[in-house]
A and B are shown apart, each in its own frame.
Chain A
Amino acid sequence: MSVEKIDVHYVAKLARIELTEDETEAFGKQLHDIVAYVQQLDTADISLIPESHLDDHTSGNHLRADIACPGLPCEKVLQNAPAAVDGEIVMPKIVE
């Protein structure tokens, strides 16, 4: 099966990553090669695997009791924020 041209610019937009022209070109070729490679999966017979199958190597999701617990101390969280003032994270203005 041939690989259709990947619109790297569009996919990068979905992924919220700005790419330079050079990166767009290089990734385009590399992703084409990788996608061509992974298309070998078309040869695997998956007809006996049910649509509803789960990752049965996991023991499933275990949920804790829904009890409120203390979160991380505010100052420890804010020390990693790119910008913070008065206990709040500062962002560039997002409304026009």
Chain B
Amino acid sequence: MDITTETIRSLKEKYAAEDISPAEVLDALEARIKSTEPTVQGYLRRDLGKARRKALDADTSLPLGGIPIAIKDNINEDGEYCTCASKYLENYLSPYNATVIDRLHAAGAFTYGRTNMDEFAMGSSTEYSAFQTTRNPWDQTRIPGGSSGGSAAVVGARSAIAALGSDTGGSIRQPAALCGCVGMKPSYGMVSRFGLVAFASSLDQIGSFTRTVEDNAMVLQAIAGYDPMDNTSNRRDVPDLCADIGKDIKGLRIGVPKEYFGKGIDPAVAAKVKSAIDWYQNEGAEVVDISLPHTEHAIAVYYIIATAEASSNLARFDGVRYGYRSSEAKDAMSTYFLSREEGFGAEVKRRIILGTYVLSSGYYDAYYNRAQKVRALMKQDFDRAFEQCDLVVTPTSPTVAFKSGEKLDDPLQMYLADVFTIAANAAGICGISLPCGFNSEDLPVGLQLMGPAYGEATMYQAAHAYEQAHDWWKTVPSIS
């Protein structure tokens, strides 16, 4: 068995045929991790010992039976550290399981490792982790994207079969594109946020990184569904997400928004995505020109709403009940001020302060309220677009992975890396990124498909069709 080329589907078939055991998969995975991690550094912690004990009596007939899955370090897992890559939560031990962890375990999956991220999921390069620098598996001098850069890097490096991440403005799809794997943000409310450390609650969704589109549908099927512990959880029934995988895409209407192919996009990225669009047309899909006129406002809307919600959500980190407390704290005020000053990194402070500013007296209407209204306009753009087409196709990121350190001193430039992914969060719709080729420097390019809320099955159908007609997903990075 070559663990770098296996998928959840192929492992399930081998388990069913008794060709291989979960323990052997864990051995192979550990060997791969040992060879790649000194370079990639995508895991913050891992313990395959616990998974090995579970592997002894694993029920491989379950949907994810015997499948090891890595977890982003902002999802609570009982008894495990959950640091959010922040000094503030460096010693925080989860006292309970997030709903997605319970569901993965119920589906037979093993959780064994925690992946690096931008602190509190704020960032697009994973360089804002307080603990370590994760490198892009295709080029060590480049970033893996973010904020779920650890999850993307280990799946891209083939040192994980699959991983969970969270996506607030593109934090699954953008790093998936940059690391050459599949990453998907489900429709808002489809996956419970209970146990996900909150960043921006109206935008956050948990989703997965996988090697293939079908694997992604299998993981989402396991974690999706109504949860009374999340008051924004949607009560709609989750459809069979694999039902349309393998079906003909003839007649599918693919919308191409002109606003996503304008200035700022790397010509090599645009060329790869246009080739993918041509492929869909050649396969009998109908390509429709559409317009999403408020796209230009996406980043402004996002950085008002997300920071406003973050300033509120992160108020819970007060130095009192859990996490970091400054040793200089002498009274209530110094406990708050110093613990937050010493425990948070620069980007987290910057966003809390921006969020506090846009919510402060005199500015609420000018910024927050206006941003909410423009968000409603963005949602209307998609409602109109989905009257003309079944899916929207765009680049995932305007560029390939950029160099480490390149955007660290200019937060606005860093924010612009999310320009194509934010709209799906603002509108609450689903989006997936999958590999669609490499540029001249052998860096992966991501193709994004977006579908209406609860349109995941059609999105997976179209993504799978493209993926299986190409070999991009089979290419394994050589990591030295």
Contact = CB atoms under 8 A, between A and B. Distances in A.
Contacts of A93: 331
A57 B428 contact: yes
Given A38-B303, A64-B228, A82-B325, A19 B370 contact: no
Q: Which of B236, B341, B379 has the most CB of A within 10 A?
A: B341
B90 to A, nearest CB: 11
Contact of B349 (A23, A35, A83, A91): A23
Given A15-B311, A17-B349, A17-B352, A34 B202 contact: no
A18 B340 contact: yes
A93 B329 CA distance: 10
B36 to A, nearest CB: 32
Contacts of B322: 77, 80-82
B377 A89 contact: no
B331 A41 contact: no
A2 interface: no
Nearest to B307: A34
Contacts of A16: 315, 318, 333, 336-337, 340
Interface in A13-50: 14-19, 23, 27, 30-31, 33-35, 37-42, 44, 46, 49
Nearest to A34: B412
Interface residues of A, number: 50
Q: Which of B330, B356, B357 has the most CB of A within 10 A?
A: B357
Q: Which of A38, A76, A89 has the most CB of B within 10 A?
A: A38
Nearest to A61: B231
Contacts of B303: 34, 38
Contacts of B324: 82
A86 interface: no
Interface in B215-233: 228, 231-233
A14 B331 contact: no
B323 interface: yes
Interface SS of A by simple majority: loop
B96 interface: yes
A40 B373 contact: no
A83 to B, nearest CB: 7
B346 interface: yes
B354 interface: yes
Interface string B299-336: 11101100000010001001111111100011111111
A14 B341 contact: no
A92 B330 contact: yes
B341 A31 contact: no
A15 B325 contact: no
A38 B352 CA distance: 16
A31 B363 CA distance: 14
Contact of A59 (B232, B374, B379, B427): B232
Contact of A72 (B96, B232, B338, B352): B96
Interface of B: 91-93, 95-96, 188-189, 202, 228, 231-236, 294, 296-297, 299-301, 303-304, 311, 315, 318-325, 329-338, 340-341, 344, 346, 349-350, 352-354, 356-357, 360, 367, 370-377, 379, 411-412, 415, 427-429, 453
Interface of A: 6, 8, 11-12, 14-19, 23, 27, 30-31, 33-35, 37-42, 44, 46, 49, 53, 55-59, 61-64, 72-73, 76-77, 79-83, 89, 91-94
